[in-house]
Every structure is written in structure tokens, then in C-alpha cells.
Structure 1
Amino acid sequence: MTKTIEFEKKTKELIDSLKSVCANYGLGNDGNEFKIITQVFLYKFLNDKFIHEIKILDPKLTKADKIEESLKSLKADEYEMLTSQLNVNTAILKPEHFISNLFARQNEPRFAEIFDNTLLEISKENSKIFSVVTEGGEKITLFENLSKYVTDKRDEFCKAIINKLVNFSFENIFHEKFDFYATIFEYLIKDYNTNSGGKYAEYFTPHAVAKIMARCLVQGKVKNVTCYDPSAGSGTLLMNLAHQIGEDRCTIYSQDISQKSSNLLRLNLILNNLVHSIPNVVKGNTILDPYHKDKKGKLQTFDFIVSNPPFKLDFSDYSAQLNTKENHERFFAGIPNIPKAKKESMAIYLMFLQHIMHSLNDNGKAAVVVPTGFITAQSGIERKIRERLVEHKMLRGVISMPSNIFATTGTNVSILFLDKANTKGDIVLMDASKLGETIKEGKNQKTVLRHEEEEQIINTFNEHKSVEDFSVVVSYEQIKEKNYSLSAGQYFEIKLTHIEITREEFENRIKEFDKSLLNLFNESQILDRSIRDGLKSIVHE
């Protein structure tokens, strides 16, 4: 544990030192700083991972004083033979790509060009496995020309970056587990966790929410399953889901309209040994142009789906294009009207929710973050979706979360669980809104669940427990009787307390009530006279 804490501290210090370099060259809080920080961090990670895996393949190299020099001495065919044995999670580097090589060349003229070309060559060599694709088929490779973001002293900037990287090693970190990398990833992106204008859902879903979703979705051991998020962001939900299943027992699929979030998701996949899923990461508009389809051109269906979609977004530019024969079943409940004012209030989450329902296979399960208002709305698209969930018997339950569980939104949220195999019912509705403690995060108030509260939610949900004023287990028929409401509070029993008293005690209490009422009546009359007398004196004056 002490070693893990030490590794975490040193890794965070590396990230801070890279941010310091950016600040010293005028890029502090610049829109391009995140590109530099995340790509340089990834370059260092891939460099050290390559060396680490090569040592495992050829133990003789471990004894070499400088492994990079030993690799340089290999003949081209020997080097190719060695690197061909690396697993898919390891990017292939040539000796000239090593950080040690750039460190040795830092005083050469036009070093920024050498630095940039090294990154571009690594991208090209590993394009097939490590590229994110767009819906139009273009590839977004690992790295870009980074020195272009510096307006002056580019050589010095690149030297400063290399000098920070050369004194640090990921060597002892590769065997760390999911929680370590989740913490590092959160720290890495914490300053870049919002999108300009606030148009999209925040990139980072709180770990408590992600963990609850994953552990309530996955029951027992599963293997060879597909996991999908149509609004993936940086992939926090997918990472938690994959960790719960086992990274080697699932394949990740995703789509997100933001190139920034797609790049962050790729970084997350690399850190978490899910490189095999990078070709399934798509930058594109899921609602207008869903990318993942089967061989017949129909939308692909999945075993598990998780999503924290944007709740409101102006999609009026293409909403009319969604009303097609092909989309009739996918958007069965309809498309939100375009408001005359506040177009940004269009409930796009309803489109994502319908898309998710359409994308589940016959035994598919899903967990989706929705505004709590969705679970009780008595008309419109919300009501039609809930009716479909009940009539088609594909509902697993709802957990209503505490307010401010997301620091960036004041909207109360619930987690909606779907299960196409839950035909018999046994639906858990839970009101967890009173749990958690409030802390301040920047200018915002945020509610944080304690570990024992997380476990309480997960265990109660998975064990189908009814707990007074907390959870209830209901059937599809009961939900119909309650006008398709999914609010736990509407199913809680109203308890009446009966106290046995004698007739004499009853009469004495009635007398006390009468006396109290008479006193209140007299006080009221005195007050009324006082007010009238005061008004008369004002008139006479």
C-alpha cells in the first residue's frame, strides 16, 4: 500500500511538472494545454510500457546497463522478430523513438521538429490499432505536432518537456490495478473536465455513480460480452463496467460527438489494458448517425449499455432529419418539439434513452443516468417511454440519487436500470436521496456518498430488499396501477400509529383542545382590536 501511495504521488508530481512547463511557455489554462499534457503523458506511458514488455520477452535485456542501447544494437530483423511478439496493448516503438534518444539529441538544431516528428512517426507505426475513427471513416491518430501550440522558443519548450520525462519511470506502476489508474486519470484531466459553453455532459462521472451502475448491472461472472456507451465522454462508466466484468472478458464500443472526449477515452483504454477496443471508439453524432452496425446494416445490439447522456441540448438543426421511416422504431416515443425560445432546453436525453432501448440485445442490460423528473412525468415522451418499459417487460429498477451528486448540475438525477430478461418483474425502486454528505468543490456544493452508503445501495438493489422509507420491490402490475410512476416514495406504506386510551382520557384531551382554541380565539380578538385602534389613530392624525 505504501508503494502504491508513493507511485501515485510521483505520478501526480510528473503531471504537475508538465503543467508547470506549459505555464512557463504561456500555455497555462490555454485551450491547447490539455492536448499537450495528455499526449506527452501518453508518450511517456507507451515508452515505458514498451521497455517493460520487452524485458519480459527477453530476460537477458534486463541485465543490460542500458536496455535502450542494447536494443539499438540489434539488427533490423532481430528487432522486428522481438517486437512482433508483443501483445496488442503495447505500442511498437523504434530505438529512435525512445525518450532517452530524444534526451541525447536535445541540443541538436531544430529540436522541436525532431520531437514532433518522433511523435508523428509513433502515430503512423501504430495507426491500425491505436487510432480513433470518425463516423466518416477518418482516423484520429495518437499524436499530433505539439510544438505548434507554442508561439516562441519551441526548441526550449520541447527540451523542457523531455527533461521532465527522462527522470521519471512508470516501470513499477504497470502491475497496479484499476483503482490506481482511475485516480491518476481523474487527476490528469481534472483541469480539463468541462467543455466550452457547457454544451455536453461533464467528462467525468463521479466514481460512486459509476461503481453503483457497474455493480448493479453485472451479476456473477460473464465472458465474451459487448459493452456500449452512446455518449461515452472520457469513458468513466465504461471503465468501471469493464473492470467489474474483467478487462479481458469484454469488448468496448462507444460513440461521442466530441473529439476531445474521444481522445480522453482512448487514453483511458490504454491505461486500463483495453487497447483491443480502441478501433471501436468512434467520434460522431450517435443520434443522427449511429456508427455501430451489423453486417446487414442494422444497428448493432449489445450485452451491456451504460450512459450519462447530456440532458438538454439544442439539436434543432437536425431534429427534422430524425423523423424517417428507418428511425420509426428507434424513436418510437417521438422527438421533442423545437421550442420558440430556449432551444438549448431540448431534452436530448430522451433520444439517447430510446436509442439505448433499441440497442439492447435479447438479454441486454443497461444503466442510464436520467433527470429524476423523468420517473414521474405524466405525459409526453417520458410517459410513453415508461409505458414501453413496463409493457415490454424490460425494467429492472430505479435508484434516485442525492441532489448535487454531480457538482456541475443542480438537476436531481436517478439511475434507470433496464433488463430485457426481467420478464417476471421484481423491480426495485429506491430513494437514496437522503444519503451522503455535502462538501464544497470550488464554487459548487457537492454531495459525496460514504463507502458504507455505496455498499448499502448496491446490496439492497442486488438482493431485492424492501427497506422502510428506502426501497420497495414491485411488480409490473403495481406500476401500471400507479400510472407508470417509478418513484419509490409513491409505493411506500403509510403507517398509522394507534394508541389505546380510555374514554375519560379522550374527554380530557378534547377539553384541553377546546381550551387552547378558546385562548387562541381571544388572543386573535385582542390583536384585531389593537390593529383597528392603531389604524384609527393614523387617520385622525
Structure 2
Amino acid sequence: MTTTVAFQNQVKSLIDNLKGICANYGLGNDGDEYKVITQVFLYKFLNDKFTYEVKQLNPDLVEAEDLQKTLEEYSDENYEMLTLQLNADTAVLQPHHLISHLYNEQNQKDFAKTFDDTLMDIARLNNEIFAVKTTGGAKEPLFERISEIVETSERNAFCRALINQLVEFSFEHIFNEKYDFYATIFEYLIKDYNNDSGGTYAEYYTPHAVAKIMAAILVKPEDNPNNVTCYDPSAGSGTLLMNLAHAIGEDRCTIYSQDVSKKSSKLLRLNLILNNLVHSLQNVIRGNTILAPYHKDENNELEKFNYIVSNPPFKLDFSEYRDDLDTKENNDRFFAGIPKTPKSKKSGMAIYSLFLQHIIHSLKPSGKAAVVVPTGFITAQSGIDKKIREKLIENKMLAGVVSMPSNIFATTGTNVSIVFLDKSNKEDVVLIDASKLGTKVKEGKNQKTVLSHEEEQYIIDTFNYKKQEDDFSVVVKYDEIKKKNYSLSAGQYFEIKIEYIDISADDFINKLNSFDNSLESLFLKSKSLERDIKNNLKTLKYD
């Protein structure tokens, strides 16, 4: 464990140093900085994964003084045989693609071009597996030409600085580590690049506590699912999907996703590569899920999934294509309706209601889902939100709701709840009010609520074991929810408890007299204050 923590710190130091190089070349906090950091980090990871794997295949390579030179001595046929034996999640590199080769070439006149050409060649060679597709069918490759982000005169020096930072570091001895290690590294890597931008798709970063709770309730230890599909229609950088895949087992599930954000799709790809989910890369789609959902079955109908997780944008101006959604083909998908375009404040259009309807439509007959929604959804008395809740209750497909503490997302003041769907749950529904849990902390300029591990587990266990806790959780029947106008707020089902105290007649009379005396004293004080105020007003009037 100590070794792992030490190595995590080394990786974080590498990331910090790469950011320092970007800052030195005018890219600090620049919109393009994330491209450099994430792509250079990914290149290093793929380089080390390749060298690690070929050494596993041929132990003689472990002893090679110069791995690159030894590989160059392979015949074309032998090299191809070697690469054909690589694991499917390992990118194929040629000897001249290795970081060691670029390190030796760094003093060449056109080194920046060599650097970029190397990345582009790796992308081309591995495009079939590692590219992200768009809804239009185009493929977005692994890498872009990094050096072109900086001034022409600085490009060679910039690329030299990057390659010199990479050459002394190696991932090789840590490839047996599992999810928790890479989750920490990934969060650190993207912490400056995946913030809530106030309403655009997928720029929302889901806190780890929320992701953990969602996964642990969707996948109980005794479930033991295998060969299942997991979907997120607003995937962002993949925090929810990674937690879900980890709970199931990366080799027991296939990931599907869609997201309109180009940046988020790149981050998601990196996340999948780090977490042994390369087999799912072909299912990562960049595009507008609401307008043009990509994943369809052999009958060209929308694909149905075993598990769905989502933290969709809550409000977004989709007026430009709102009317395009209002079609006969979408009647079943948007069964509760499509929000109307307001005359003003179009940015306040409730797009989360479309995502929630899309998710309900995309569940298999025994499917489960967990969706983050604004807490106002669970009690709305009319409109689309009410119709969605009616559907969940009438069709008996709700597992429960957890209302989270305020500011669980540091970048938004919106209170959130997690709605858990389960098409097989025909009995009890669990409603939890966790709003009083957590500790307030400052994160930059914002205040954030942080749950302890014990509080996270308390929520998970209460839900999974259907426990009733005073002022925290209730277990209710579908008919009870109907009687409460389909409200999913736990507080509306809590028992009001009245404490009775035995008291004698004399004590009762004494208490009444005490209250009477107190009231009389307060009335006298009030009259005295009233006289003082009137006198002061008269004085001010004649001064």
C-alpha cells in the first residue's frame, strides 16, 4: 500500500510538471492545455503498457540493454507475430514510436514535426480500436498535432521539454494495480478540465461519493451480474460508468455511452483505457443523445440496457431543436412530454426531464438505473415531472430515492436527489432524506458538502437492506405513494411523534400562571418601547 501511495505521488508530480511546462509556454489555464496534458499522459501510458506487454511475451526483452534497438532487429514477420500476441487493450507501437526513440531524436532540426508525426502514426495504426465515433460515423483519432498549439519558434523546445519529462518515469511496475489506483490518478489528471460549466452537456463532474452510492445500490454484492450492458447517455468523463463497471467487474460488462462534448469524450476514452475497458471503446459515441440517439438494435430500435447511470445537465437551451423532437417517432420515448420553449430565459429549459424519459425508455424489462435529478423533481405537483413519477408508480418500476445534502456538488447550489429505477421491484420503495448528513468544507470559492465513508455506507446499507430510520428513511408501498400525490420526498412519510409527560393538576395550574405572568411582562415592555419610539419621533420632528 505504501508503495502504491508513493507511486501515486510520483504520477501526480509528473502531471504537475507537465502543467508547469504548459505554463512556461503560455498555456497555463488555456483552453488547449487539457489537450496537451491528457494526450501526453496517454502517450506515456500506452508506451509503457506496450513495453510491459512485449516483455511479458518475451522474457529475453527484460534483460535487453536497449529495448528499442533490440526490437528494431526483429524481422518484419517476427515483429508482427509478437504484436499479434498482445492483449486487445494494448496499443500496437513500432520501435520508432517509443519515447526512447524520440528522446534520442530531440536535437533534430524538425523535432516538433517528428513528435507530432509519431503521435499521429500511433493513432492511425490503432484507429480501429482506439478511435471515438461520432453519430455521423466519423472517427476521432487518439491524438492531435500537439506542437501546433504553441508559437512556431517555440515548438521544438516545447516538445523537447515534454519528452524529457517522460523519459525518466515508468508505469511498468504498476500495471497490476486495479481501479482505485487509476481512479485517484484520473481525478487528479482532469481536476482542472472537467468542471461544471453551468449548463452545457457533460461538463458536470460527479463527486466520487455520489458515484459510489449509485453503483453500490444498483449492484449488490450478491447480484453477481455477468455479460451485462451499462449505459450513460450523458457520460461526461465517465465517473459513473467507471464506478458501475468496477462494482460489476470490468471483464463482466460492456460500456456504452454518448455525449455531445468533444472534450468529455476524449476524457472518457482515457478513463476507459486506464481502467481495462478498451473493449468498450467502440461504443463511445460523440453526439447529441436527445436529438440523435446512436445505440440501436438489429431492428433499428433504440438499444435496451441492463444498467443505466446518468448525471444529466439539469437546464439547457435546446430551443433550436425542440420542435424536431416533437414527432410521432418520439411519442414512446418522451411519453410525458417535451418542455415548451419559454419566451425568455431559454437557458432554464428542463432538459433533465428528457434524459430521464430517454433512460426509462432504454431499460431492459429487468433493467436498473440511477439518475441524478434536481430535488424539485420529486415533489412537483404538475407538468412533465409529475407525469414521469406517475409512470414510475403505475408501472411499479421504482426502487427508491435518496435526497442528498445541499452543495454535494461544489459548483452548483441546486439540491439534488438520486432516483433509482428497478423494473423488477414490485413491492416496497425506499425513500431516504440524507440532507442532514455531511460536513461543510471550502473548495476554492465554493462551499461543498463532503460525506464521510461511514455516511456513504450508512446510505447504502439503509437502502439495500430497506431499513426504516427515524427522520432518515421510510419504506413505503406504491399505493401509499399514490395517496401522497405521487410525492417521492421521504419527509412527507415520516411519522409525527408527540411526547406525553405526566403532570399533576397543581403543576399544570402553576405552569399556566407562569406563562400568564411572562406574557403580561412582555406586554408591559412592549408598551414602554412604543412610548419611547413615539417620543423619539416627536423629538426628531421638531429638531
TM-score, reference length from structure 1: 0.98
Instruction: For 1:244 and 1:23, locate their aligned partners in 2 and report how far apart those are by CA, in whole Å.
Output: 38
Instruction: For 2:154 and 2:465, locate their aligned partners in 1 and report how far apart those are by CA, in whole Å.
Output: 62
Instruction: For 1:516 and 1:446, locate their aligned partners in 2 and report how far apart those are by CA, in whole Å.
Output: 43
Secondary structure of the 1:192 match is coil
- Letter matched to residue 237 of structure 1: L
Task: Say yes or no: does 1:261 pair with 2:260.
Answer: no
1:478 is matched with 480
Q: CA deviation at 1:534?
A: 4.5
Instruction: For 2:308 and 2:15, locate their aligned partners in 1 and report how far apart those are by CA, in whole Å.
Output: 32
Q: CA deviation at 1:538?
A: 5.3
2:175 is matched with 174
Instruction: For 1:130 and 1:226, locate their aligned partners in 2 and report how far apart those are by CA, in whole Å.
Output: 20
Going from structure 1 to structure 2, the CA distance change for 1:195 and 1:520 (only over 3 Å counts) comes to: closer
Q: CA deviation at 1:522?
A: 2.9
Contact 2:196 2:205 (C-alpha < 8 Å) held by counterparts: no
Pairing of 1:355-394 with structure 2 (within 5 A)? 355-394=358-397
- Spell out, residue by residue over 1:44-72, the C-alpha distance to the aligned partner (whole angstroms, 9 max, x if none): 00000001011111122222222222211
Going from structure 1 to structure 2, the CA distance change for 1:154 and 1:525 (only over 3 Å counts) comes to: closer
Contact 1:203 1:261 (C-alpha < 8 Å) held by counterparts: no
Task: Say yes or no: does 1:450 pair with 2:449.
Answer: no
Instruction: For 2:98 and 2:229, locate their aligned partners in 1 and report how far apart those are by CA, in whole Å.
Output: 35
Q: CA deviation at 1:163?
A: 0.9
Task: Say yes or no: does 1:48 pair with 2:45.
Answer: no
Instruction: For 2:483 and 2:18, locate their aligned partners in 1 and report how far apart those are by CA, in whole Å.
Output: 59
Alignment partner for residue 327 of structure 2, among 324, 328, 347?
324
Secondary structure of the 2:245 match is helix
Q: CA deviation at 1:406?
A: 0.5
Secondary structure of the 2:329 match is coil
User: Larger deviation: 143-152 or 402-411?
Assistant: 143-152
1:161 is matched with 162
- Letter matched to residue 134 of structure 1: T
Contact 2:232 2:256 (C-alpha < 8 Å) held by counterparts: yes
Q: CA deviation at 1:531?
A: 3.8
Corresponding pairs, count: 540
* Aligned-pair Cα RMSD in Å: 1.4
Secondary structure of the 2:34 match is helix
Alignment partner for residue 517 of structure 2, among 515, 518, 524?
515
1:488 is matched with 490
Going from structure 1 to structure 2, the CA distance change for 1:112 and 1:539 (only over 3 Å counts) comes to: closer
Question: Please, which runs of 5 or more residues in structure 2 have no aligned partner?
Answer: none
Instruction: For 2:533 and 2:241, locate their aligned partners in 1 and report how far apart those are by CA, in whole Å.
Output: 68
Q: CA deviation at 1:172?
A: 1.5
Task: Say yes or no: does 1:93 pair with 2:96.
Answer: no
2:426 is matched with 423
Secondary structure of the 1:52 match is helix
Going from structure 1 to structure 2, the CA distance change for 1:231 and 1:410 (only over 3 Å counts) comes to: same
Going from structure 1 to structure 2, the CA distance change for 1:18 and 1:526 (only over 3 Å counts) comes to: closer
- Letter matched to residue 390 of structure 1: I
Instruction: For 1:291 and 1:526, locate their aligned partners in 2 and report how far apart those are by CA, in whole Å.
Output: 76
Task: Say yes or no: does 1:214 pair with 2:203.
Answer: no
Contact 1:252 1:277 (C-alpha < 8 Å) held by counterparts: yes
Instruction: For 1:95 and 1:398, locate their aligned partners in 2 and report how far apart those are by CA, in whole Å.
Output: 54
Pairing of 1:75-86 with structure 2 (within 5 A)? 75-86=75-86
Contact 1:397 1:428 (C-alpha < 8 Å) held by counterparts: yes
1:468 is matched with 470
Going from structure 1 to structure 2, the CA distance change for 1:284 and 1:540 (only over 3 Å counts) comes to: closer
1:63 is matched with 63
Instruction: For 1:131 and 1:536, locate their aligned partners in 2 and report how far apart those are by CA, in whole Å.
Output: 82
Instruction: For 2:138 and 2:361, locate their aligned partners in 1 and report how far apart those are by CA, in whole Å.
Output: 27
Q: CA deviation at 1:536?
A: 5.0
Question: Please, which runs of 5 or more residues in structure 1 have no aligned partner?
Answer: none
Instruction: For 1:368 and 1:310, locate their aligned partners in 2 and report how far apart those are by CA, in whole Å.
Output: 11
- Spell out, residue by residue over 1:228-248, the C-alpha distance to the aligned partner (whole angstroms, 9 max, x if none): 000000000000000000000
Contact 2:199 2:314 (C-alpha < 8 Å) held by counterparts: no
- Letter matched to residue 350 of structure 1: S
Instruction: For 1:95 and 1:289, locate their aligned partners in 2 and report how far apart those are by CA, in whole Å.
Output: 41
Contact 1:201 1:311 (C-alpha < 8 Å) held by counterparts: no
User: Larger deviation: 190-199 or 248-257?
Assistant: 190-199
Pairing of 1:334-353 with structure 2 (within 5 A)? 334-353=337-356
Instruction: For 1:534 and 1:149, locate their aligned partners in 2 and report how far apart those are by CA, in whole Å.
Output: 72
- Letter matched to residue 207 of structure 1: H
TM-score, reference length from structure 2: 0.97
Q: CA deviation at 1:431?
A: 0.7
Instruction: For 1:529 and 1:190, locate their aligned partners in 2 and report how far apart those are by CA, in whole Å.
Output: 62
1:186 is matched with 187
Going from structure 1 to structure 2, the CA distance change for 1:537 and 1:260 (only over 3 Å counts) comes to: closer
Contact 2:199 2:313 (C-alpha < 8 Å) held by counterparts: no
Q: CA deviation at 1:29?
A: 1.6
Instruction: For 1:498 and 1:418, locate their aligned partners in 2 and report how far apart those are by CA, in whole Å.
Output: 41
Instruction: For 2:141 and 2:118, locate their aligned partners in 1 and report how far apart those are by CA, in whole Å.
Output: 13
Contact 2:199 2:315 (C-alpha < 8 Å) held by counterparts: no
Going from structure 1 to structure 2, the CA distance change for 1:11 and 1:536 (only over 3 Å counts) comes to: closer
Instruction: For 2:539 and 2:27, locate their aligned partners in 1 and report how far apart those are by CA, in whole Å.
Output: 73
